[in-house]
Structure 1
Amino acid sequence: MGQLHGRTDFIPDRDIPSLDGKVILVTGGTAGLGAVTVKALARHSPAHIYFTGRNAAAAEELIQEVQANDVSVGLSFLTMDMMSLHSVRDCIQTGFRHERLDILICNAGIMAKPAELTQDGFEIQFGINHLAHASVIRQLTPVLLKTAEQLNADVRLVVLTSTGFRGHPSQGIDFEKVRTTQNSVGGSWIRYGQSKLANVIYTAEFARRHPSITTVSVHPGVVATDLVNGLSRVQRGFVVFTNWIAGRTLLQPEEGALNQLWAAAGAPKAEMVSGAFYMPIGVESNHMLDSVAKSPELATKLWRWTEETLKVYQETTP
């Protein structure tokens, strides 16, 4: 077991209230933190849970496991390749069938990958961690806002980020090079930092623009999922060492999911600070953000750039 801080007494089975009638969507739900999150939320009787991924066999196993214990929960697996913005668009447009959405958890992501481009020609970590999720959010914003208009609504958007955002380029986001591999010495971590910074500032900007939706970015901790286990020996050693220097140990997936579960459903709405960055578990940590991560000018620039970029992929056919 790892070392947790903050609200260490948070127990999802005990502290998450009934989710009766609520509709939830979790990206990257077939394994790791996403699968833990789906299973934990299903135990509180939501009306329906959508989850995305590429592994249909793993999705079917998850559905069978959940429904063996929570037969009343509706589950839908949406096949989504986040390397392709057309796939992201088609997945949401054809797969999401409800007229309400109460909880959207942007959980999927990659870390410290070799230099590569997505199918659309974007640096892979920026393309998946930021642009693909921004596409999901953009498409589902109308239904989130519609749900927020209902009596006693409590609509939440939770976006996973990482303290790795601190490794971002000096200017924050290199807009001139996001359509290149941005390869350089130590570049995999710089590219990762850029994508995680984008998660933080895009989330904060969404909160400013849509105050009826409680919107936060969360760091899960450093977790022993495929994100870490799939790294090279040198990279994994770097992660373990830096975590040890910070006085922390690797968390298990059940621990790593606690912060997003707290933010998505466990915390009373009145306790949430919309637009904030949370460390685990439930610790509002905007003081940890540097001047770049707090820059409203950069947030506005990223928002406008993202809107213009996504229009091309959401209004045309491949």
Structure 2
Amino acid sequence: MSTIVVVGATSGIGRRVAEGLAEGGHRLFLVGRDPDRVRALRKRLPMATVIAADVATTAGVEQVAEHVANAGQIDVLVNNAGVMTPTRQESADGVELNLAVHHLAPWSTVALLAPLIPAGGRVVNVNSEGHRSPMRGGFVRIDPERLADGPASFDPFLTYSRSKLANLLFSYELQRRRPDWNVVAVHPGVVRTDLGRQFPRWQVAAITALALPARKGAEPIIRLATGDEPPTGYYDRFSKVRSSPLSYDEELARRVWVATEELAGLRITGTQL
């Protein structure tokens, strides 16, 4: 039995991940933002500790850390929270929401929980093939001097892709700096969830017409979190594949790391340069 923290566990893929891990008998700390969904998950999985917290904010991540402080150790951390918005929005901390949820939240969660993750522990970051190219086509680049898209540069699909590229650069750099951990990023497939609920229905229908059900999207995440073979690198569902060429740029990753430290106001302990 492992102790596992799942961030973004109250709906869609995350809820299916939580249910699958519960069936495996693991000790679970499950995090969600919506109070109603948190209450529903507590009823569904009474053996788990379900935490209401908005990890897009520093205060929310601190809430999570407080709840798991006495866990002893965390064997697996799954960063699954996701968002996609048609217009630019900001977190309560004033950070563009895609960057806050997909990059700063995993960074900050790792930073505050790092003392509890032992050698051999796993960090599973749910990523996306969108890190390669936005839905409308084109290239994804990232400027470490300006991680968050401002109003003039915001595009719902490109901004989403940039935040996923930032998360992937972080995943690789974290593995380099914490070689005693197993860090993995995974694209779970194109999955039918409510991630795009703020978009027009016709647009969501066009995207999800051939999408997988949430339970299928959860399967590779569960395997990477609990499988016998410790994973590292990037996975497209169950297959380890090469990510975009830019994601392997170590100098870019280092610069994004430094910029993120400044933006989050947190350092990840135990990292090696």
Aligned to 1:167: 133
Query: Offset of 1:233 from its aligned partner?
Result: 3.0
What are the Cα deviations for residues 166-211 of structure 1, in whole angstroms up to 9, with x where unaligned?
23696722344445534447x1111000011011111111111111
Is 1:307 the counterpart of 2:261? The answer is yes
Q: Residue type matched to 2:38 in 1?
A: A
Structure 1 stretches lacking a partner, 5+ long: 1-19, 68-73, 149-153, 242-248
Higher-Rg structure is 1
Select 1:64's aligned residue among 24, 43, 59.
43
**Aligned with 1:24: secondary structure?**
strand
Relative to 1, partners in 2 of residues 1:313 and 1:205: Cα closer, same or farther, differing over 3 Å?
Answer: closer
Q: Across the two proteins, how many residue pairs are aligned to each other?
A: 265
How many angstroms apart in 1 are the aligned matches of 2:201 and 2:139? 28
Query: Offset of 1:89 from its aligned partner?
Result: 2.2
Residues 139-178 of structure 1 mapped to structure 2, 5 A cutoff = 139-144=112-117, 147-148=118-119, 154-167=120-133, 172-178=141-147
Select 1:217's aligned residue among 179, 185, 199.
185
Query: Offset of 1:313 from its aligned partner?
Result: 10
Q: Residue type matched to 1:30 in 2?
A: T
Query: Offset of 1:43 from its aligned partner?
Result: 1.2
Structure 2 stretches lacking a partner, 5+ long: 269-273
How many angstroms apart in 2 are the aligned matches of 1:300 and 1:122? 21
Is 1:297 the counterpart of 2:251? The answer is yes
Is 1:201 the counterpart of 2:184? The answer is no
Query: Do 2:54 and 2:60's aligned partners in 1 also have CA atoms closer than 8 Å?
Result: yes
Aligned to 2:271: none
TM-score, normalising length from structure 1? Answer: 0.76
Select 2:13's aligned residue among 17, 25, 33.
33
How many angstroms apart in 1 are the aligned matches of 2:174 and 2:267? 20
Query: Do 1:115 and 1:183's aligned partners in 2 also have CA atoms closer than 8 Å?
Result: no
Residues 129-144 of structure 1 mapped to structure 2, 5 A cutoff = 129-144=102-117
TM-score, normalising length from structure 2? Answer: 0.88
Select 1:283's aligned residue among 210, 217, 239.
239
Q: Residue type matched to 1:103 in 2?
A: V
Is 1:191 the counterpart of 2:170? The answer is no
Residues 194-273 of structure 1 mapped to structure 2, 5 A cutoff = 194-237=162-205, 239-240=207-208, 249-269=210-230, 272=231
Aligned to 1:7: none
How many angstroms apart in 1 are the aligned matches of 2:57 and 2:199? 23
How many angstroms apart in 1 are the aligned matches of 2:201 and 2:99? 23
Is 1:84 the counterpart of 2:63? The answer is no
Query: Offset of 1:96 from its aligned partner?
Result: 3.6
**Aligned with 1:292: secondary structure?**
helix
Relative to 1, partners in 2 of residues 1:219 and 1:267: Cα closer, same or farther, differing over 3 Å?
Answer: farther
Q: Residue type matched to 1:60 in 2?
A: R
Query: Do 2:56 and 2:104's aligned partners in 1 also have CA atoms closer than 8 Å?
Result: no
Query: Offset of 1:298 from its aligned partner?
Result: 1.0
Is 1:100 the counterpart of 2:73? The answer is yes
Relative to 1, partners in 2 of residues 1:191 and 1:37: Cα closer, same or farther, differing over 3 Å?
Answer: same
Aligned to 2:95: 122
How many angstroms apart in 1 are the aligned matches of 2:57 and 2:267? 9
Q: CA RMSD in A?
A: 2.4
Relative to 1, partners in 2 of residues 1:266 and 1:210: Cα closer, same or farther, differing over 3 Å?
Answer: same
Q: Residue type matched to 2:6 in 1?
A: V
Q: Residue type matched to 1:265 in 2?
A: T
Fraction of identical pairs, as percent: 28
How many angstroms apart in 1 are the aligned matches of 2:265 and 2:153? 30
What are the Cα deviations for residues 236-295 of structure 1, in whole angstroms up to 9, with x where unaligned?
255247xxxxxxx200010011111111113522xx3x2x11011x20111xx2221111
Q: Residue type matched to 1:283 in 2?
A: S
How many angstroms apart in 2 are the aligned matches of 1:83 and 1:118? 6
Relative to 1, partners in 2 of residues 1:225 and 1:184: Cα closer, same or farther, differing over 3 Å?
Answer: same
